[in-house]
Structures are given as C-alpha cells and as structure tokens.
Amino acid sequence: MPRLMLSDEFWSKLEKILLQEAIYNKRNLRMTVEGMLYRMRVGCPWRDLPEAFGSWNSIYKRFNAWSLSSKWLRIFKALSIDPDCE
C-alpha cells in the first residue's frame, strides 16, 4: 500500500468539505482522493496509478467529473479559508 499523503486529522477536515460539496461518501472515498493527489504530486499517467488506490479509470472519471462541475475549485477555495500553514 502506498504511503498516504493526508493525515487522519487533515482527512477528517477535508471529508467534511467534500460532503458539503455534495460528494457522496463512498467507502473508498479517501483512497480515491489520495489517488488523485498522488497522481498530481508524481505527475504519472492515470494508467500508472498504483492499484492500492483502486481502479485508475474510476479515479480518472471521478476527477474529471469533479473538475467539470467546479467541485475541485470550490474545495480549494474552502481549504484556503482556514489554511494550515505548518
């Protein structure tokens, strides 16, 4: 399993924001978001995501849908209201 980027404390804050943005809390939501962040950090092709994150195609489709509906923009704006500068 790949090392996760989000601590449990930060994930709980992010999860609240995701739920406010009408993102359904599926059982694998955290790994999906971790997969998206991993891909952004590493810059690998979607197909090269480690299998531990789940199906690369599902993660790609969800990322695309959130981007097209501006959910990512609203999530980042919500995160910038109360930044953790550590």
What digits encode the pLDDT tens for the residues 32-77?
Answer: 999 999 999 999 999 999 999 999 999 999 999 999 999 888 888 8
16-36 pLDDT, tens digit each: 888 888 787 778 889 999 999
pLDDT class of 84 with cuts at 50, 70, 90: low
- CA 66 from centre of chain: 10
| Residue 85: per-residue pLDDT | 65
Q: Specify the higher pLDDT residue, 5 or 70.
A: 70
Q: Find, among 17, 9, 6, 10, the residue nearest to 76 by Cα.
A: 17
pTM: 0.82
Q: Is 8 exposed, middle or buried (0-12, 13-18, 19+ CB in 10 A)?
A: exposed
